[in-house]
Amino acid sequence: MFSIDLLLGAVVLGVLLGCFYAAVSVGLSVSFGLLDVPHVAHPAFLVLASYGVYQLNESYDIDPLLAGLAITPLFFLFGLLAYRTYHETFEKRGSDAAVRGIAFFFGIAFIIEVLIILQFGVDQRSVTATYIGKSWRFGEMRIPIRQLVAFAVALTLTALLAVYLSKTFMGRAIRAVAQDEEALRLMGANPVRIKQYAFGIATAVLGIAGALLIIVAPVEPTLDRAYIGRTFCVVVMAGLGSISGTLIAAIILGVAESIVLTLFGASWAPAISFAMLLGVLAVRPQGLLGR
Amino acid sequence: MTTPAATEAPLLQVGAITKTFGGFTALDNISVDIRQGERFGLIGPNGSGKTTLINCISGALRPQAGSVIFRGEDITLLPPHLRARRGIARSFQIPRPFKSMTVLENLMVGLDFAATGSRQPEEEAAMSILTRMGLAAKADAPSNTLSQVELRKMELARAMAVRPKLLISDEAMAGLSSSEVDEVLDLLISLGEEDITIIMIEHIMQAVMRFSERVMCLDAGKIIALGAPDEVMANKRVQEAYLGT
Amino acid sequence: MTGHRNSIIFWGGVAVFLVAVLTMTQIVRNEYPFFAGYVILQFIALAVAWSILGGYAGYVNFGTNAFFGVGVYTAVALFKATGAPLVVQIAAAAVVGMTLGFGVGLLTLRMRGIFFSIATIALAIIIETFVMNWRFVGGAAGIQIQRPPVMAPFDSYVKMLFFVQAILAVTAISIARYIQNSKVGRGLQALRDDELAAECTGVPTLKLKLIACMISGALISAAGAPAAMYLQYADPFSAFNLTYSVSALAMALIGGTAHWIGPVLGAILLGSTQQFLAVTISSEVNVLVLGIMLVLFVVGAPKGIIGLLRPRYRLRAGGKP
């Protein structure tokens, strides 16, 4: 049952999967990692984006990636709105914010889930595109092209965000606001507006990430629950707010999941990310790759 | 340990404490004895390790090396609440009230959990501490409605509710007006008169001078001066540390 | 003095309530009210138990479903293996829930806030995965439960379960009330406000958090134990459904967590609204209502219903007078 080929195949697929996980987690790495917002609804927005892509693909036959790109402005607005509400009601008032802030996003996630169910039902949905359904052969190994597409787009997306945060003026401001809000205020910048903008970016990225999610596999309304484990696992493991760390952590998770899937079967897969997350939280809360 | 001279042994012995954070050495081999009933001033520029030292004494931090001995007992490994029960109480540099509670309830926490052997009913005990601190009128006020000086006083009152033998005041006068500084200082001095040993961290030099019997100055995690207040102030290294070189 | 009088009123109320519940099971013929009432009582138990940790101590447990599912499956496994009576199933579930609570309590050593919350979700999924791979109790497909004959004085199993759940709810309320009025309650409140300050004021924070986690866990698992008998069926997906977590949390926060009556009010309000909506519209809509109410309350009424009813709490939240 066990062979080197099998293991090698699992690792290769794991790396592809890992890069995809980086793309769905990178937004959270900004919103939770950098901005410290307990954004439990991040995966729910991700699944919502997938359904947006599904709708465009189904009704107008738009390529899922283009559809994902098309909905990014909308998700940018969602992000602005979500942060503004969070800031006005919790960050600003301070007291007891932790408990209620978490409950707030938990509630939002639940609302999104149910709205999707009401609109689309509980059945799985998938998209169609020319690259979905075919695969490449490398000797014994078969790699679905949808995985390769997701891999390439995910890598590009993550790299673009990393460049944005380190090279552009706004990106640097976002990093600065995460480190020292007070200093930024003294320099005359408005930290709240920068954070709001950053949250918008983090959510906008989900447009593309949602497209990848539905390209890789069919989606269902409660899929966000599994991704709470995956995205938070990646972000925490990465060391909060590190984009390159996010990529590495995501690949570690992808490979781990892929190997467990190959060796023990699909029924154990959902627990992997959560078990790793729990392990990291218990042993090294500052992240495997951080400081 | 059974010698009759036990009462003359230092109340607190800090023995060669070293505390590092990552590569940064916050405290470097600090040793100091605090005598029973002493009023002890702790000064030093920002980041010199003052708060780290009292965190090691109160148990909020655990040093990598060295020991803390309180009334002859090694408490280096004890968690803060057990130190509080043995009589070590503190205030915080940035006040940390129990903000969902009233002022009186804040004190009740200490009386409930740390104060031992008092026969006085708790509420009465809390009121008498508040009266001493000049906060009696605010007993039922929610603690998140207090002014800065009231908060400082409440922190000291809450520490007093622990029935401490050693009280550590961490910049209890920061951000207060000069008349308020005098008010809090008078309070601390009067507490010192009831056989409570007090360590006071402070930046306001007149307050330190007026208060302390001995002063210790830290810089970059090391003791650079220890002795009578005017001696320490006259020390060249202290002046350099404060004025910069 | 007033404390003493309050106690008499409270225990009098408890006695009247239980007698009323018992009488109802003897008089009312139709089974439906008991079906619906069971669910509301279960939610009261869950919300009150949740608030011991989430409200008093301020640790937001998203893993109510873990404790609930563990309660369900302890009962199922025990019943299948030994045919143990319901009381024993519930007791065993409480013990297992308490043990799990101890584990969760240890998590509080290393994490708080969002990290703790996420860790509790993680725990729930991990346990669910184990149960899905546990053949003895039916794995992912679930398991049918054959109810044993009902015991006198009840003439139907559902009525008996209704009475049992009423006792569980009352137990949860009594314990929550006891904690709230005791030193433990004050200590939990202190550590919720500021853990370090509480420690330095003499509060044994770890011990209190462990106590809160264990009691909360035991009560949630106990409340879940009769669920398999109620549904005559158990499967991992329903037993570990995240809806239990959202419901417990939402009901507690909507009612208000400063007093034990808050979660009770929240559970009655939301539980009965949900029962009504589930019958008249659909079960999806009632979950939607739950989510919307939760968001509205945490944004608009931070102290919950009791905060709205008692202006004293509003004053407290309002900052400087």
Q: Hey, is the C-beta of A170 within 8 angstroms of any chain C C-beta? A: no
Neighbours of C318 (CB within 10 A): 12
Q: Is residue A290 part of a domain?
A: no
Q: Which stretches within C31-85 are classed as H helix? A: 32-51, 64-82
Q: Hey, is the C-beta of C281 within 8 angstroms of any chain A C-beta? A: no
Q: Which of B114, B97, B203, B108 is nearest to B153 (CA)?
A: B97
Please tell me which residue, B44 or C223, carries the higher pLDDT value: C223
Task: Write down which chains contact chain B via at least 3 CB pairs under 8 A.
Answer: A, C
- Cα–Cα distance, C180 to C190 (Å, whole number): 12
Give how far C299 is from chain B: nearest CA, Å.
18
- Cα–Cα distance, A231 to A30 (Å, whole number): 12
Instruction: Give residue for tokens 């207040």.
Output: B229
Task: Tell me the CB-side half-sphere exposure of residue A129, using CA atoms within 13 A.
Answer: 25
pLDDT at res. B77: 92
At B195, phi and psi to the nearest 5? Answer: 70, 25
Task: Write down which chains contact chain C via at least 3 CB pairs under 8 A.
Answer: A, B
pLDDT at res. C316: 40
Residue C100 pLDDT > 60:
yes
Give CA separation, B43 vs B54, B207, B215, in Å: 12, 11, 7
pLDDT at res. A285: 65
Neighbours of A60 (CB within 10 A): 9
Q: Which of A148, A145, A141, A142 is nearest to A131 (CA)?
A: A145
Q: Which of A289, C112, A277, A189 is nearest to A175 (CA)?
A: A189
Tokens at B39, concatenated: 């009023």
Tokens at A111, concatenated: 């609302």
Q: Is residue A128 part of a domain?
A: no
Are residues A95 and B99, on separate chains, in Cβ contact within 8 Å? yes
CB-based burial label for C26 (10 Å; 0-12, 13-18, 19+): exposed
Q: What percent of chain A has pLDDT over 90?
A: 46
pLDDT at res. C319: 34
**Closest alpha carbon within chain C to B164:** C201
pLDDT at res. A192: 87
Q: Is residue A185 part of a domain?
A: yes
pLDDT at res. B84: 94
Cβ-proximal residues to C42 (8 Å cutoff; 6+ apart), any chain: C165, C168, C169, C223, C227
Q: Is residue A92 part of a domain?
A: yes
- Cα–Cα distance, A189 to A168 (Å, whole number): 16
Q: Taking CB atoms and an 8 Å cutoff, what residues of chain A touch C299? A: 85, 89, 104
Q: Is residue A132 part of a domain?
A: no
Q: Degrees (nearest 5) of the Cα angle A144, A148, A149?
A: 115
State the complex-level ipTM: 0.89
What's the residue count for chain C?
A: 321
Q: Hey, is the C-beta of A115 within 8 angstroms of any chain C C-beta? A: yes
Give CA separation, C2 vs A115, C5, C7, C9, C10, in Å: 49, 5, 9, 10, 12
Q: At A77, which helix (H) or strand (E)?
A: helix A64-86
Number of structural domains chain A divides into? 1
**Closest alpha carbon within chain B to A96:** B100
The parent domain of residue A161 ranges over: 4-122+141-283
pLDDT at res. C9: 92
Are the CB atoms for C257 and C56 separated by under 8 Å?
A: yes
- Cα–Cα distance, A114 to A127 (Å, whole number): 21
Are residues C200 and B99, on separate chains, in Cβ contact within 8 Å? no
Domains and CATH numbers, chain B: 4-95+164-243 (3.40.50.300)
pLDDT at res. B5: 46
In the DSSP assignment, the letter for residue A267 is G
- Cα–Cα distance, B27 to B16 (Å, whole number): 9
Q: Is residue A288 part of a domain?
A: no
Please tell me which residue, A255 or A96, carries the higher pLDDT value: A255
pLDDT at res. C179: 95
Helix A64-86 vs helix A42-60: crossing angle, to nearest 10: 140
Are the CB atoms for B160 and B168 separated by under 8 Å?
A: no
Q: What is the pLDDT of residues A119-172, one digit of tens each?
A: 999 899 988 888 887 888 877 777 888 888 889 999 999 999 999 988 888 888
- Cα–Cα distance, B173 to B186 (Å, whole number): 12
Q: What is the pLDDT of residues A44-87, one digit of tens each?
A: 999 999 999 999 999 999 999 999 999 999 999 999 999 999 98
Are residues C117 and A102, on separate chains, in Cβ contact within 8 Å? yes
Q: Is residue A78 part of a domain?
A: yes
Helix C32-51 vs helix C157-181: crossing angle, to nearest 10: 20
**Closest alpha carbon within chain B to A291:** B22
Task: Write down which chains contact chain A via at least 3 CB pairs under 8 A.
Answer: B, C
